[in-house]
Amino acid sequence: MPTINDVARAAGVSPSTVSYVLSGRRPISAQTRARVQAAIAELGFHPHAGARALASSKTNVLALVVPLRVDVNVPVIMQFATAVVTAARTHNHDVLLLTKDEGTSGLERVAHSTMVDALIVMDVEKDDVRIPALRKLKQPTVLIGLPGDPSGIVCVDLDFAAAAAETLRHLAWHGHRRIALVGPSPAVYRRGTSYAERFLAGFTEASAELGLETMTHPCEPGQEGVKSCLADIDAELPGVTALVVHNEEALRPLLDQLRAAGRRVPEDISVVAVCPRDVALGLPIPLTSVDIPSHDVGGLAVETVMKLLDGRHTESIRLLPPTLVERDSCARPAV
């Protein structure tokens, strides 16, 4: 492995000049720059990351903390991850992958040992124990999600409250008045996962504003969970003409159950989902849905991190506006 000294010698300049060519932090004449670049190319020089980090206090590495719980949303997480990696690369950064189960100590480890310049943390909970630790780090942090007390930390996410309102507005516009929300599993609510609560709040509020008759119900996973959820809904709010489903796993069994019960979608009952685009498209009936834009959120997280690293200002909460895409699962209610 050639070093910067080898390059300097080959180009007939001093090492610092090579460094300045690389970083552009001081003006270098065109001829010198060309000679240096030629030497770099010829020797196949790559600056030693550790040496660089030591001298500059910058690693050009981001930490990404992902949940490794298998129970939910694995593809979504993977989408986030690849979006983050891809976006980070456009800013000349790499990504160190951490799992949530390392907890607070994992964050402190990589931060204190200066392995990373900044952190992106997914799957934050309402009273996430990691938040206080993150506040103390010298590296900036961006959360994907919204904790109970976001003060001192920058957060990005989809605007789930707006997403809920959007689904109801769409259904109301189609003429629906009695609508039920099939929510995530009770475990998700128990964990205090913020997007669940924000969606719920948005749903309730928009329902009141639009003067709709609605109800909400969490939904356990599996065929059984969906079955009992639907039964509860029929009992509590008979004559429901539309369902808003904020639960990826329930989608497939839900469609199965409806079909088994002889209720056609969308003729007898409309369905609007909140899920990633490919899930909405991968079902027997392409679902009208508010897409969860993992890719965009991941990209936004990286952009925000970069802003912070540049010392630029940024709002402390950035919510992406939802977009509802019409597909085939929504119609006017049967009279």
Partner DNA sequence: ATCTATCGTCGAAGCGCTTCGACGACCCCC
Partner DNA sequence: GGGGGTCGTCGAAGCGCTTCGACGATAGAT
Q: Residue 74 or 231: which CB sits closer to a second copy?
A: 74
* Residue 102 and residue 133 in contact, taking contact as beta carbons nearer than 8 Å: no
Q: Pick what 15 binds: DNA, a second copy, none; C-beta below 5 to 8 Å, kind-dependent.
A: DNA
Residue 89 contacts DNA per CB under 7 A:
no
Q: Is 37 in the site for a second copy (CB under 8 A)?
A: no
Nearer to DNA by C-beta: 57 or 151? 57
Comparing CB distances to a second copy, the nearer of 85 and 215 is: 85
Phi, psi angles (nearest 5°) of residue 6 = -60, -45
46 near a second copy, rule: CB under 8 A: yes
Handedness of CA 217, 219, 220, 223 (dihedral sign): positive
Q: Is 4 in the site for DNA (CB under 7 A)?
A: yes
Nearer to DNA, 4 or 233 (CB): 4
- Minimum distance between the CB of residue 259 and a second copy, rounded to whole angstroms? 10
* Least Cβ distance, residue 8 to DNA (angstroms): 7
- For DNA, give the closer residue by CB, 18 or 155: 18
Contact stretch for a second copy (CB under 8 A) within 105-113, 196-204, 211-219, 320-328 = 105-113
CA-to-CA dists, residue 123 to 79, 194, 248, 307, 334, angstroms: 14, 9, 16, 22, 40
Q: How far apart are CA 312 and CA 308, in angstroms?
A: 6
User: How far, in whole angstroms, is CA 306 from its chain's centroid?
Assistant: 16
Among 26, 89, 190, 332, binds a second copy (CB under 8 A): 89
Least distance to DNA, CB of residue 10, Å: 12
Rounded-to-integer distance, Cα 5 and Cα 318, Å: 45
284 binds a second copy (CB under 8 A): yes
End-to-end CA distance of the chain: 76
Of the candidate spans 49-57, 118-126, 307-315, 321-329, the one that interacts with DNA by CB under 7 A turns out to be 49-57
Which does residue 27 touch among a second copy, DNA, none (CB within 5 to 8 A, set by kind)?
DNA
Residues engaged in binding DNA (CB under 7 A):
1, 3-5, 12-20, 22-23, 25-29, 31-33, 45-48, 51-52, 54-56
